[in-house]
A and B are shown apart, each in its own frame.
Chain A
Amino acid sequence: DAGITQSPRHKVTETGTPVTLRCHQTENHRYMYWYRQDPGHGLRLIHYSYGVKDTDKGEVSDGYSVSRSKTEDFLLTLESATSSQTSVYFCAISGVAQTDYEQYFGPGTRLTVT
């Protein structure tokens, strides 16, 4: 199994508070991704990173920011959480984008915004 951990695994927070989710990998993979999973929407890409300090937006990036200061860590921040951000968040990693595209997923973080 790919070495990917996410923390916290569960979090309940109030509307308007900042929240940071952490993804940590031990595989030294270049590419990292944050997704959210919601019923009826499958997985949607929030942000991704193609190297240290190199990040870009996905299809549902509004209200989210990311940072990657080290190869192994990719942080997702909700600056001011809203109820629409209640979801399950998955981190994924990939080693070789151009020839493989295989992604490995973390166990997920269930976030509830009340």
Chain B
Amino acid sequence: GNSVTQMEGPVTLSEEAFLTINCTYTATGYPSLFWYVQYPGEGLQLLLKATKADDKGSNKGFEATYRKETTSFHLEKGSVQVSDSAVYFCALPYGSSNTGKLIFGQGTTLQVKP
């Protein structure tokens, strides 16, 4: 079945540094891929998504490209801010197509220091 592997954290960066959080997946076909973000004390919220191979999802300065050759969907941001401190989850669908189920990576904690 589908699975996702995410780089372990925590990741600690200084403000304005470049961010990469790695995500690789195993899947049948080419499912949509997602990045979710969880700010302290809150639920997850969708950060960006890509619905087909070679698509680039982007939002709030974050980007991720759906690369089928390397089965990867790495999250990047050119200049992080303290407000980006959060836990980031990579996710993709699994199971029957009529259930909407998602499988999530372990989560990567990002801490940005001023």
Evaluate contact between A56 and B43: CB separation under 8 angstroms. Answer: no
Q: Give the residues in chain A near B97, CB-CB below 8 Å.
A: 97-98
Evaluate contact between A48 and B101: CB separation under 8 angstroms. Answer: yes
Q: Is B42 an interface residue (CB 8 A)?
A: yes
- Can you name the residue of chain B whose Cβ is closest to the Cβ of A1? B45
Evaluate contact between B99 and A50: CB separation under 8 angstroms. Answer: yes
CA distance A104 to B43 in the complex (A): 9
Evaluate whether A31 and B44 lie within 8 angstroms (CB atoms) in the complex, with A41-B106, A42-B89, A101-B32 already known.
Answer: no
Q: Is A105 an interface residue (CB 8 A)?
A: yes
Q: Give the residues in chain B near A48, CB-CB below 8 Å.
A: 99-101
Evaluate contact between B99 and A97: CB separation under 8 angstroms. Answer: yes
Evaluate whether A90 and B43 lie within 8 angstroms (CB atoms) in the complex, with A31-B100, A42-B105, A43-B89 already known.
Answer: yes
CA distance A50 to B97 in the complex (A): 12
Q: Is A33 an interface residue (CB 8 A)?
A: yes
**Apart from A100-B32, A100-B100, 17 more pairs, CB < 8 Å:** A33-B100, A42-B89, A42-B105, A42-B107, A43-B89, A43-B107, A45-B101, A48-B99, A50-B98, A94-B100, A97-B100, A98-B98, A98-B100, A102-B34, A105-B43, A105-B45, A107-B42
Q: Which 5 A-B pairs have the closest CB atoms?
A: A97-B100, A105-B43, A94-B100, A42-B106, A43-B104
